[in-house]
Every structure is written in structure tokens, then in C-alpha cells.
Amino acid sequence: MSDDHVYLTLAEGHEDDTRWAYGTGFEDPLHGVDTAVPEGVDAGELAAQCVALADDALVGAQRLAEWITRAPELEEEVALANIGLDLLGQARLLYTRAGQVDGTGRDEDAYAYFRDPADFRNVTLAELPGGDFAFTVVRLLVLSSWRLAHFRRLTGHPDPVLAAVAAKGVKELTYHRQYAAQWCVRLGDGTDESHRRMRAALEQVAPYLGELHAAHDVRDEVADDLRQVTGAAGLTLPVHRPLPGRGRAGEHTEHLAPLLTELQGVARAHPGATW
């Protein structure tokens, strides 16, 4: 019966297996790409830059994944998953690049699963616990605005791989920022309760802006985005005393370790396993 075709051929090989996901059916993810480090680029610095940006993305994706089956509406389940998947994809390419240039030959999973919290270089804003939907969209707005401005600059980076990852990321981050901005406006302009929650979320996020600018100084672009969105939402960005966050130096809040325990638990329980 023709209906059964897809099921009957399940156990056979498929030529299109690479459709499954990045990392399926090949050993060398950047096969055919010139992966030599260009002249004038410090390999150690490039690797550190890739790891830091990958850590921001992986930790951000993990927090978004926590929303799955808990979002306020099914459309938001789909959108938050989309954004989480984009960030996860960025993390994977950046870890892969780091492993090629830092001399260790590590693969993406070695970075994600077998480093301890103090080895992670993500900014601390990314690791703060989920909070409510207002906090989620405010954090997403700030992080995507900041990352987008930085990625725009990286599209001109002398390393062609990092430049290509950034170029791909710009398209994705433009959508993330748009999604977050729309919700910030809806919530700021919505009901008394949503307005109150937005004000609280801005209070919570604002002190972390200093750490972002210390990592990559794109403060003018971020300030423009925030001014535009808070203006349309009837909100004001609170004046804040910046927290001395130093995630880029491996100094984290108490929230990163439990996040990594959950992320890494199964992988670490089965050394030598392949998945």
C-alpha cells in the first residue's frame, strides 16, 4: 500500500540524511572551506572571541528552551523555539571554529558539555533565571540589539568563517530584535499589569548594560533601539548603577552552575558514549 512507503523504508539508508541537522552524515563540518587562520589574525584571540559569543548563544538558547510548553500562547512557543534554534545554531558554528583555531581540535560538544562554569565566558545577563514573559522579552531585546550591532561589525572581520557566521546571524538577530520589540511595545502599552511588569523587567535588566558595553562597545546602537522601543511602549529606561558583571572573565552569578548541571548532566553521565 502506497500509504506505508515512508514507514517501510525507515531502516534503509537515505541520500538526503544531511537534512536532519547540522552535524549529520559528515565528519568535517567545514569541509571544502579554507579554514586557515588569515595572516594578521591572532588564533588565540579569535578562538576566545568565538567561544565567548558561542557561550552567550548557548546559554541564551537554554533559557529559551525552558519556555517550551510554558509559553503564554502557541504562537509564542513556535517563535521562542525559533529564536532558541537560531542561537543554538550560532553557538555550534562558533564552537566548531574555536576548536579549529585554538589548537585543541575540540568539537562543539567538548566546549558545551565538558567545561565547568568558570570556563564559560557568556555575559551574566544571559544566565539569569527565566523570570516572567516581560523579563524574557526585555532581556531578549537588549541581548539581540547588542549582539546584532556587534555582529554587523564582525561581518567585516578578517577571519572569513567568523565573518560568515556573523552575516548569517545578522538576519536571524534582526528578527529576534523585532520579535522582542513588538512584545515590549504590546506589554508596555497593554494593561496596567503588563505595564507594571515591563517596568520591573527594565529595572532588572538595566544594571547589566554596563557589562555588555564593556564586552563589546556598541552602546549607541543599543541606546537607539531601547529609546525607540521604550518610547513606543510608554516606558522609560531607568537610570541605573551598573553591576560589576564580569562573565567574559569567567566570573558568573550563582545561576550558571545549575543551568550547566542540567545541560551537561546526561552527557557527563555517559563518558565515551556517542549520540
Partner 1 sequence: MTTKHAAETPPPDGPDGLQEHFDTTIARDQRVEPRDWMPDGYRRTLVRQIAQHAHSEIIGMQPEGEWITRAPSLRRKAILFAKVQDEAGHGLYLYSAAETLGADRDDLTERLIEGRQKYSSIFNYPTLSFADIGVIGWFVDGAAICNQVPLCRSSYGPYARAMVRICKEESFHQRQGYELLMTMMRGTPAQRGMVQDAVDRWWWPSLMMFGPPDDASPNSARSMAWKIKRHSNDELRRRFVDMTVPQAEKLGVTLPDPELRWNEETGHHDFGTPDWDELTRVIKGEGPCNAQRVQRRRTAHEEGAWVREAATAHAARQAARAEKGAVA
Rg (CA), the chain: 20
| Stretch of 41-49, 157-165, 212-220, 264-272 lying at the interface with partner 1 (CB under 8 A) | 264-272
Least CB distance to partner 1 at residue 5 (A): 9
Check: CB of residue 61 under 8 Å from CB of residue 85.
Answer: yes
| Closer to partner 1 by Cβ: residue 79 or 218 | 79
251 forms beta bridges with 246
Binds partner 1 (CB under 8 A): choice among 187, 212, 226, 235: 187
Residue type (1 letter), 156? G
22 scored as a contact of partner 1 (CB under 8 A)? yes
Q: Half-sphere exposure of 125 toward its Cβ, with a 13 Å CA cutoff?
A: 31
| Stretch of 31-39, 118-126, 219-227, 267-275 lying at the interface with partner 1 (CB under 8 A) | 267-275
72 scored as a contact of partner 1 (CB under 8 A)? yes
Q: Supply angle C-alpha 236, 240, 243, rounded to 5.
A: 140
Quote the crossing angle between the two packed helices 43-65 and 133-154, to the nearest 10°.
160
262 scored as a contact of partner 1 (CB under 8 A)? yes
Least CB distance to partner 1 at residue 169 (A): 16
158 scored as a contact of partner 1 (CB under 8 A)? no
| Stretch of 44-52, 82-90, 210-218, 220-228 lying at the interface with partner 1 (CB under 8 A) | 82-90
105 scored as a contact of partner 1 (CB under 8 A)? no
Binds partner 1 (CB under 8 A): choice among 37, 48, 223, 263: 263
Provide DSSP, 132-183.
Answer: -HHHHHHHHHHHHHHHHHHHHHHTT-SSHHHHHHHHHHHHHHHHHHHHHHHH
74 scored as a contact of partner 1 (CB under 8 A)? yes
**Closest to 207 in 3D by CA, of 142, 129, 254, 141:** 142
223 scored as a contact of partner 1 (CB under 8 A)? no
194 scored as a contact of partner 1 (CB under 8 A)? yes
What is the distance between the alpha carbons of residues 82 and 69, in angstroms, rounded to a whole number? Answer: 14
**Closest to 106 in 3D by CA, of 94, 89, 88:** 94
Positions 41 through 70 that interact with partner 1 (CB under 8 A): 58, 61-62, 65-66, 68-70
What is the distance between the alpha carbons of residues 199 and 176, in angstroms, rounded to a whole number? Answer: 21
Give residues in contact with partner 1 (CB under 8 A). 1, 3-4, 6-8, 10-11, 14, 17, 19-24, 58, 61-62, 65-66, 68-78, 81-82, 84-85, 88-89, 91-92, 95, 108-109, 112-113, 133, 185-187, 189-191, 193-194, 197, 262-263, 265-267, 270, 272-275
